Amino acid sequence: MTGSPDLDRQSFGILPDGGDVEIVSLRARGIEARVITYGATLQALLVPDRQGQVDDVVLGHDDLQGYVETRSFYGATIGRYANRIAGGTFSIDNERFHVPANDGANALHGGPDGFDRQVWGIAETGGGEAPFVRLTRVSPDGECGFPGRLETSVTYRLRDDGLELAFEARTDRSTVVNLTNHSFFNLGGTRHLASILDHELSIEADHYLPVAVGAIPEGGPAAVEGTAFDFRSAHVIGERIRAPEEQIRRGRGYDHNWCLRGLSGGEPRLAATVRHAGSGRVMELLTDQPGVQFYSGNFLDGTSVGKNGLTHRMGDALCLEPQLYPDTPNRPDFPSARLDPGETYRHRSVFRFTHA
C-alpha cells in the first residue's frame, strides 16, 4: 500500500486466476474518485451536497467479487466499441469482421469480453492539486474479432471542478474505436438509494437517433421538438418517461443517442446538465464527442446487489455516455469510428460538479 493525502494505492482483491486488482483513490477539494484496475473502472465518486455532506454518487460494488460475477458495466471503461454494432459485423476496406453477439443479434460494448472484463495496468500516478492515475492496456489483434493491435490508455484526473477522463488509442492496423465511461449516477447519493426520476435533465441537442427493435438506429437523426426526447430545456426525467411514444416503448424508457450541437474533436463543450433538488448537487457533462447516450436505468431489475448491500432497481441511476453514434462502423453517414496506423484516437470528457 502507498498513500498520501491526495492519492493512495492498494489492493482491491484477488481474481480467480490469482491476479491482483488494485484501487487508486484520488482526493482534491472535497471530491474523491476511486478507480480499480479491473475494467479501468470508476468504483466510487464522493461529492458534497449543498450542506457539505459527502456521498457516493455512482453505483458499483464494495468488493471485486461483485464486478467479476455480474457484468453490469458499473463505472467501467467500455471498448473496443461502446454501444451496439448491428449483427456484430462490419467492414473495413471491403474486409468483413465479426464480433460475437452478446445483445440479441448485436454486439454490445465490445462483445462478451470487452475492455470492462480485463485488468488494466497502472502506468502512472501523480498527486498534488490535480491528482491522477493513467491506466493502460494492449488489446491484441483479433481480440473479440476486432482488427489491429490497439494500445489504449485512460487517465482519470481530479481538477478544480470535477473529474476529467482522457482516452487515447493507437493501432498497427486499420480498425474501429469508440471508448467511453459507463458510470451509473444518482446525485441523491447511494447511501440511501432512491429513484433518479426526480432528477432534472437538459441535453444540448436538437436531434436524437430513433432506434429499431434491438436498439440499432433506424434512419438518421430526428428532431427532438414535440417529443419526449426534447431536453433542450430542463425537464424532470420522470415527467415523460411513460409517454405514449413508440421510441419510449422500444427503450423501456430512455436508452438513446442524442446528437450534440457543435463540432466534435475540439475543447470539451457542454453536453448535458443534471440537477437534484433534494441534495442540491448539479453535474455538468462536457465532452469533445459528437454524441451522448442517455440511459435511464431501465434494465436494472433488482438482481444486482451493490454497495451497502442495496439492490439496484429500474430507475435507480442514469448514465450519460459520451461517444460516437451507435453502429457507426455500418453507417458511413455517421461520424467515423475508423482509426488508421499513425493516427491517435482521443476522447476527453469532464464531469463537473457544483451545488445549488
Q: Hey, is 234 helix, strand or coil?
A: coil
Q: What DSSP string runs through 125-180?
A: EE-TTS-EEEEEEEEPTTGGG--S-EEEEEEEEEETTEEEEEEEEEESS-EE-B-E
Task: Measure CA 202 to chain center.
Answer: 18
Pairing of strands 222-223, 235-236: unpaired
Catalytic annotation present for 109: no
State the catalytic residue, choosing from 143, 164, 204, 321: 321
The pairing of strands 180-182 and 76-78 is antiparallel
Handedness of CA 326, 329, 333, 338 (dihedral sign): positive
Between CA 322 and CA 304 the distance in angstroms is 24
Backbone angles phi and psi of 177, in degrees to 5: -140, 135
Using an 8 Å Cβ cutoff, are 132 and 158 in contact? yes
C-alpha cell belonging to residue 60? 458499483
67: enclosing H helix or E strand: helix 64-69
What pairs with residue 3 in β-bridges? 8
Integer Cα distance of 241 and 228 in angstroms: 7
Distance between CA atoms of 261 and 33, rounded to whole angstroms? Answer: 29
Q: Which of 61, 182, 207, 276 is catalytic?
A: 182
Residue with cell 484501487: 23
Active-site residue flag, 235: no
Q: Who's near 53: CB < 8 A, 6+ residues apart? A: none
- Catalytically active residues are 182, 321
